[in-house]
Amino acid sequence: MPTESASCSTARQAKQKRKSHSLSIRRTNSSEQERTGLPRDMLEGQDSKLPSSVRSTLLDLFGQIEREFENLYIENLELRREIDTLNERLAAEGQAIDGAELSKGQLKTKASHSTSQLSQKLKTTYKASTSKIVSSFKTTTSRAACQLVKEYIGHRDGIWDVSVARTQPVVLGTASADHTALLWSIETGKCLVKYAGHVGSVNSIKFHPSEQLALTASGDQTAHIWRYAVQLPTPQPVADTSQISGEDEVECSDKDEPDLDGDVSSDCPTIRVPLTSLKSHQGVVIAADWLVGGKQAVTASWDRTANLYDVETSELVHSLTGHDQELTHCCTHPTQRLVVTSSRDTTFRLWDFRDPSIHSVNVFQGHTDTVTSAVFTVGDNVVSGSDDRTVKVWDLKNMRSPIATIRTDSAINRINVCVGQKIIALPHDNRQVRLFDMSGVRLARLPRSSRQGHRRMVCCSAWSEDHPVCNLFTCGFDRQAIGWNINIPALLQEK
């Protein structure tokens, strides 16, 4: 009993000290806030080259940061005092129950457990608050550097793939589950050509490196090569989207999707017969691409094989076997006869056709779920994305482990790399699109709100480094493609 009274008295005194000290801290911080108000007014009155709106936003952000850290400081002190009080109480209890033969080791374990719980709470509070501050600041930067320019609406089902022509005139191509592929004017958003030669979902589209030819892969177990001829319409002034880029992100339901009942592709010319049909697969052809030079093409299929074809004769040159499950993507090197295929078996494989007499294969292991895509960059690097929510950068000279790993909060679909600037665009299942550099540093997240951005899963991304207005395109299962203007120098400067 005497021991319990002493313990209660000690706790009561500690509580009173904590309360009085807390009030003292609040008064001190209040007076500090009054003092910091003067420098802010003086700063606002000084001459600056920054626009007043930007300057005001920065001052508000730094004010928020200061207030957040003040609150964290107060809470940290209070938690530290609680830890000290707990230690005192445990020490007192240890004296009271020594007769019960409680070992010092057990007492130490109990005190350590309680302290670690409070320490964890402290760390969690700190991380949550600081991440909110950093996220708010990065979101503001992203909105300034990433602007929505044009929406391409006309498909009647989800869009699986998007690609940009590599020859003049530069057009945008989309492949959709509605069994069609559409070509668009990038500037006006008008549909120029409709390809309706497939009898299944069109899963990918790629343009020939030097001719006006398109290569499409389909769920009808074929890949088609077809020729197009387009005349670009007169560009219209681009609408200013800066007003809606400042909208806060909100959750969007299916009711918010644009009205797509009208078929805007019905007025454009339709191609129904391919130049060449590549037929050898026994399952869905999920992707296809041109080898360097455009004389050969490679296809990837759910039948677990990839096929290499001669374009002129449509003959099968090689059947690439080895994957244990369905293939998800294929990609070719821009300057060398190299092919990379990805699969649901958690691996991707590099196929080397530089020696005509023999082709070698290397297997890359490192993901724990489906590899949704793997693409080449400049030099000897490959970037892979996976349903395990990671993106890995690999050096072809060292296949044992990646040189960089990006961890995200959602599965990643078909990625694309801006070769000139080495920026990776990550389309996610959760409707987000994020930009990272090759070392894994996050640069931006494309703005998304109730009035702009994708409303369902983002399936693919494609860079167009030579276009003056839109240099990044994305497509999703909300049946639209979007053209973005990414201010790359601004992003790299912020990094």
Domain range annotation of the chain: 145-228+263-492
φ/ψ of 26, rounded to 5, equals -60, -40
Percent of the chain with pLDDT over 70: 74
pLDDT band of 349, cuts 50, 70, 90:
very high
Above 80 in pLDDT, residue 335?
yes
Q: Compute the distance between CA of residue 153 and CA of residue 264 in angstroms, rounded to an integer.
A: 8
Q: Which residue shows structure tokens 């000690």?
A: 10
Cβ within 8 Å of residue 10, ≥6 positions away: 88, 89, 92
Above 90 in pLDDT, residue 23?
no
Q: Which residue shows structure tokens 């200061």?
A: 66
Above 50 in pLDDT, residue 226?
yes
pLDDT band of 318, cuts 50, 70, 90:
very high
The number of angstroms, rounded, from the C-alpha of 239 to the middle of its chain's C-alpha atoms is 26
Query: Sign of torsion, CA 386 492 163 296?
Result: negative
- Looking at mean pLDDT, say which of 10-24, 337-351, 457-471 comes out highest: 337-351
The pLDDT, as a whole number, for residue 236 is 58
Average pLDDT, integer, range 75-103: 69
- Looking at mean pLDDT, say which of 186-200, 347-361, 395-409 comes out highest: 186-200
Here the tokens at position 246 are 């400042």
Return the SS3 of 41.
helix
Above 90 in pLDDT, residue 222?
yes
Nearest to 217 by CA among 208, 230, 235, 205: 205
pLDDT band of 182, cuts 50, 70, 90:
very high
Average pLDDT, integer, range 442-469: 90
Q: How confident is the model over 242-257, as pLDDT tens digits?
A: 443 443 444 444 444 5
Q: Which fold has domain 145-228+263-492?
A: Methylamine Dehydrogenase; Chain H (2.130.10)
φ/ψ of 484, rounded to 5, equals -120, 150
Q: Compute the distance between CA of residue 305 and CA of residue 299 in angstroms, rounded to an integer.
A: 8
Mean pLDDT of the chain: 82
The pLDDT, as a whole number, for residue 114 is 52
The pLDDT, as a whole number, for residue 87 is 82
Q: Compute the distance between CA of residue 246 and CA of residue 37 in angstroms, rounded to an integer.
A: 27
Q: What is the largest CA-CA distance in the chain?
A: 100
**Do residues 244 and 305 make contact, with C-beta atoms less than 8 angstroms apart?**
no
Above 80 in pLDDT, residue 142?
no
Q: Compute the distance between CA of residue 267 and CA of residue 269 in angstroms, rounded to an integer.
A: 7
The pLDDT, as a whole number, for residue 430 is 96
The pLDDT, as a whole number, for residue 348 is 97
φ/ψ of 431, rounded to 5, equals 80, 5
The pLDDT, as a whole number, for residue 33 is 45
Q: Which residue shows structure tokens 């030579």?
A: 466
Percent of the chain with pLDDT over 90: 55
Above 70 in pLDDT, residue 238?
no
Tally Cβ neighbours within 10 Å of residue 427: 30
